[in-house]
Amino acid sequence: MREIEYDLIVETVKNLAIEANSVLDEDMYKVLEEAYEKEESPTGKEVLKQILENDKIAKTEMIPICQDTGTAVMFVEVGEEVVVKGGHLKDALYEGVRRGYVDGYLRKSMVKDPLRRVNTGDNTPPIIHFDIVPGDKLKIMFAPKGGGSENMSVAKLFAPAAGREGIKKFVVDVVDQAGGNPCPPIIVGVGIGGNFEMSAILAKKSLFRKIGERHPDPFYAELELEILEEVNKLGIGPMGLGGTVTALDVHIEYYPCHIASLPVAVNIQCHANRHKVAIL
Amino acid sequence: MSDEYKRITPPLTDDVVADLRIGDKVLITGYIYTARDSAHKRLVELIKKGEPLPFDIKGQIIYYVGPAPAKPGYVIGSAGPTTSYRMDPYTPPLLELGLKGMIGKGQRGKEVKEAMKKYKAVYFEAVGGAGALLARRIKSVEIVAYEDLGPEAIRKLYVEDFPVIVANDMYGGDLFLEGKSRYRKVG
Ligand code: SF4
């Protein structure tokens, strides 16, 4: 058994929240520079120029890239040999979010219930997906997810006959419908298979992958590139003002599914592609 | 579409609005007002009751924003635009009262576009997710009304060289539609 201190988990999540909101992964700065070079529309170029400048300011001053500092989404992998000392794991994760959002001057965007809509005041509760894995480590993958791009996401249950082409068309249509609302250039996360809820979780998890990194299975890697090419023909462009760079990448994750089903979920991620991982 | 920035200062006159065309890059210097969903709802309720608004809206620009809290030493936290279509139902009555400009992100509905033509107004797109950059161009913040709404209260901002792009002009031009069709390579 390996003991991990409650306070260490709190501190770690707090820092993840603050850092994820201000500093993008290195690959994002690079990919946005490349997008700036590639973009054919002058308006699109201007938008990308401002995004790049913004992301640099956020990083140097440690202030949020975007004022929508999102719902705190976490994928947490708990090693079977891990014991949390001094409290419960779930409490520690909640407390970390609370401290991160309150002490870190991040915007609180969670309401207590979806219809009466009173703000919880500290951005809790987070949305946590737990997994139990072999080993003695605790892995926390943190992603603040903004409302603008989340609202443009769609899940659908197809008949298996829809096949590869049906899925392709569906994903491209979802992006087309979303237009400028999810703050393009976007990253398109696609979950295929599993069941109703699994497809959406796969789509969300795929967003953690590095830009430009392909699915290990060549069949899906190829589909990713095909969808990316189609999406960038839509003309939506940066912020939807027209252009050749609508998406920076497409990530697919799949899971086995029932003989009668073909679930597909598309989770759209804006250019503020924020996530950060810690392993304790 | 020129590469130069146009500079404007509110209150805007019809002549200034007439000079703005879709795709124009604009820098705003001067006072602008913030309002989003709840504040809009209240403004329109006042209009319906025939009561005066908490600020003179003639010629003014409203920015759809709900900023992040300010870090110590900053006048405002990250402050990028929020999605505009949510304000669509409340917008035509404000345009009728003389509102000349709106800043947000994303497309506007048909009624708003019609009202912009009728009352000579302009809709600017600010870059969504550029909250850190845009906050830097905001030099002062003063609450004008509805303090109880927290981040949604109406604020008067003094901005300097605040960068926006004309997305809808008073001639009915729509950059979302025109830009998309210009670069679209599929049906
Ligand atoms: S979609 Fe993303 S970049 Fe745009 S406002 Fe929301 S969180 Fe910010």
Distances (CA, A) of A109 to A42, A173, B37: 34, 29, 14
A153 and A141, same structural domain? Answer: no
A263 and A176, same structural domain? Answer: yes
**Closest to A184 (Cα-Cα) out of A21, A62, A47:** A47
Last residue of a domain, one of A125, A145, A165: A145
> How many angstroms separate the CA atoms of B21 and B179, rounded?
13
Please give the pLDDT value at position B4.
87
Please give the pLDDT value at position B187.
75
Q: What is the pLDDT along chain B (187 residues), one digit of tens a residue?
A: 446 899 999 999 999 999 999 999 999 999 999 999 999 999 999 999 999 999 999 999 999 998 999 999 999 999 999 999 999 999 999 999 999 999 999 999 999 999 999 999 999 999 999 999 999 999 999 999 999 888 889 999 999 999 999 999 999 999 999 999 999 998 7
Pairing mode, if any, of strands A262-269 and A2-5? unpaired
Atom of ligand 1 lying closest to residue A67 CA: 8
A91 and A225, same structural domain? Answer: no
Domain residue limits, chain B = 5-183
Catalytic residue among B40, B42, B105, B113: B40
A100 and A12, same structural domain? Answer: yes
b/e burial code for range A124-157 (CB count within 10 A of at least 16 → b): bbbebeeeeeeeeebbbbbbbbbebbbebbbbbe
Tell me which residue has tokens 């737990």.
Answer: A130
A266 and A201, same structural domain? Answer: yes
A234 and A183, same structural domain? Answer: yes
Summarised one tens digit per residue, pLDDT across range A12-39 is: 999 999 999 999 999 999 999 999 999 9
Strand partners of residue A157 = A263
What is the mean predicted confidence (pLDDT) over A263-268?
A: 98
Residue A48 lies in a domain: no
Record: contact A40-B183, CB cut-off 8 A: yes
A156 and A140, same structural domain? Answer: no
What is the mean predicted confidence (pLDDT) over A92-101?
A: 98
Residue A197 lies in a domain: yes
Q: Is the peptide bond before A184 cis (omega within 30 degrees of 0)?
A: no
Atom of ligand 1 lying closest to residue A270 CA: 2
* A201 Cβ neighbours under 8 A, 6+ residues apart: A129, A191, A194
Nearest to A179 among B79, B80, B107 (CB): B107
Q: Which domain holds residue A91?
A: 2-20+65-145
Tell me which residue has tokens 């009555």.
Answer: B93
Please give the pLDDT value at position B78.
95
A220 and A166, same structural domain? Answer: yes
Summarised one tens digit per residue, pLDDT across range A101-122 is: 999 999 999 999 999 888 899 9
Helices (H), B19-147: 37-49, 91-96, 110-119, 131-136
Domain tally for chain A?
2
Summarised one tens digit per residue, pLDDT across range A224-262 is: 999 999 999 999 999 999 999 999 999 999 999 999 999
Note if B51 is an active site residue: no
Site to probe by mutation for ligand 1, drawn from A32, A67, A149, A186 as the one with most ligand atoms within 8 Å of Cβ, is: A149
Residue A29 lies in a domain: no
**Is the CB of A146 inside a 6 Å radius of any atom of ligand 1?**
yes
Record: contact B132-A65, CB cut-off 8 A: yes
A184 and A119, same structural domain? Answer: no
Tell me which residue has tokens 């409203």.
Answer: B62
Strand partners of residue B5 = B25
Query: How many angstroms separate the alpha carbon of residue A153 from the centre of ligand 1?
Result: 13
> How many angstroms separate the CA atoms of A149 and A143, rounded?
13
Tell me which residue has tokens 């994303």.
Answer: B106
Q: Does B161 touch chain A (CB under 8 A)?
A: no
Q: Class of B5-183 per CATH?
A: alpha beta
Could you write out the three-class secondary structure of B29-44?
EEEEEECCHHHHHHHH
Closest-CA distance, A235 to chain B, in angstroms, reads 4
Measured between beta carbons, the chain B residues lying within 8 angstroms of A52 are: none
A6 and A141, same structural domain? Answer: yes
Strand partners of residue B120 = none
A117 and A6, same structural domain? Answer: yes
Of residues B1 and A152, more confidence is placed in: A152
**Which of A241, A245, A246, A273 is the best mutation test for B, with the most CBs of B within 10 A?**
A241
Last residue of a domain, one of A99, A130, A145: A145
Please give the pLDDT value at position B3.
61
What is the mean predicted confidence (pLDDT) over A146-166?
A: 96
Count CB-CB contacts under 10 A for residue A205: 19
Summarised one tens digit per residue, pLDDT across range A170-222 is: 999 999 999 999 999 999 999 999 999 999 999 999 999 999 999 999 999 99
Please give the pLDDT value at position A25.
93
Last residue of a domain, one of A106, A123, A145: A145
Q: Does B73 touch chain A (CB under 8 A)?
A: no
Please give the pLDDT value at position B1.
46
Residue A33 lies in a domain: no
Dihedral angle of Cα A91, A97, A100, A102, to the nearest 10 degrees: -90
Residue A40 lies in a domain: no
A260 and A157, same structural domain? Answer: yes
